[in-house]
Amino acid sequence: MAENKTDKRLFGTDGIRGRANLDLTPELAFRVGCCVAGVLAAHSGRPRILIGRDTRCSGEMLEAALSAGVAAAGGEAELLGVVPTAAVALLTREWGADAGVVISASHNPMEDNGIKIFHRTGYKLPDEMEMELEEAIAGAVEVPRPHGREVGRIRQAGDALEWYLGYLRGLLSMELEGCRMVLDCANGAACGAAPQLFESYGAEVVTIFNEPDGYNINQGCGSTKPQRLQEVVRQGGADLGLAFDGDADRVIVVDERGDVLDGDVIMAACAERLQRRGELSGQALVATVMSNKGFHLAMRDMGITVHQSAVGDRYVLEEMLKRGLNLGGEQSGHIIFLDHSPTGDGLLTALHFLRAWKERGGSVSEIGGMVRRFPQVLLNVRVPGAFVLEGNRAVEEGVKGVEERLGEQGRVLIRLSGTEPLVRVMVEAPTEEEAEGLARELAAVIEAECAAGGIKEE
């Protein structure tokens, strides 16, 4: 199965992304700020825009440029400082702002950065407003430049993190006295928030990768690189570990044995608890096409329906809203609890998981047994920016051949990344060796197509 989703010029599946100061320049950030304020002013008068960021050194530069653009177009920019992405979405909704902007590239390397924009509802911008904004940034729409008393202002909002943590603390009551946990804060936005939150529940907290210097975000750590967390949990006799990504919108769990519990397992545990309490809307949830076959079987056995979406929290949320569901997420650990937050939130997800664990009793590793995973291999193939996947005959024939060999004992998914110049090749098979071999076989087909120009055949 090959998947393509969206073909916008500037906005990908997760906002604007690029190498800071090369692709994503201060000039572009200024223009984005101007256009966000200008477009919103046409809808709501003098707009108030919240701006948060992660710990990347380039975030300070882009924050300054973007907020200057907001003020230049007559908007009011409120700087939240370093906060999780979910905090910006929540604060935008709860503080009655017209929009929220996050400057972050999430789990990407330090060299990258991004701009993600939230609507006043806390959701990402509707497609029509995003396209209007895209046209304005491209210069197709004139953005007014007010003067005198109509020029906007920039100010600090100092209580943002405290408000956010207080909101989370009021959602789920539980005691974590005697629980020893290790937090991998990815040297990112979780650093100030996560230790404070879990200590407030009485947990004994050990932190690693909790000293951001502007350059070490996601460097050998975080939810995509949990190896050090696994070691520390095992060696320290902790009950569990939690690994966040750079902007803290996703989390993965490490059990007491050092094994990783990904988003599929986290969703399964949380879905089981919500269903048991009669709080799972529609007895269903949304998962992306990346979720393991074992997850689908576990949900089937619980009587929970799984609706599938394309990869990306934007598409998960769209499917949830369409079906009136309150739980959905990704294997990566980006999970949305719509009753509590309009976007994925790693800290909120961790709280839901901890509550499910405490109510079940036993060890965290026992929760891992809820999902019998089929071996899954994911390879990333770097491709030119102009590479065309959809309609590529050689790739389609390669996928078809592998699917015929697997039959019902596995599956294949090939898709373009929405945030990086990569084609992601995923294969599930009865054994790790078979999955690895088939994934490499398909990766070789893509690499050959890149060498040949990646031309779409008519």
Residues with active-site annotation: 106
Residue 42 to residue 123: CA distance in whole angstroms: 20
Instruction: Tell me the C-alpha distance between 378 and 24, whole Å.
Output: 28
CA gap 240, 443 in Å, rounded: 35
Which string of DSSP letters, residue by residue, matches 93-111? HHTT-SEEEEE--TTS-TT
Sheet holding 422-428, edge to edge: 2-3, 411-416, 422-428, 376-382
DSSP β-bridge partners for residue 230: none
Give dist(CA 85, CA 118) in Å, integer. 10
Hey, how many other C-beta atoms are within 10 angstroms of the C-beta on 201?
A: 18
Query: What strands, in cross-sheet order, belong to the sheet with 180-184?
Result: 204-208, 180-184, 240-244, 251-255, 260-261
* Residue 38 contacts residue 32 (beta carbons within 8 Å): no
Do the beta carbons of residue 317 and residue 323 sit within 8 Å?
no
| Residue spans of alpha helices (H) in 141-217 | 160-169, 190-200
Please spell the DSSP secondary structure of 236-290, one letter per residue: HT-SEEEEE-TTSS-EEEEETTS-EE-HHHHHHHHHHHHHHTT-SGGGEEEEETT
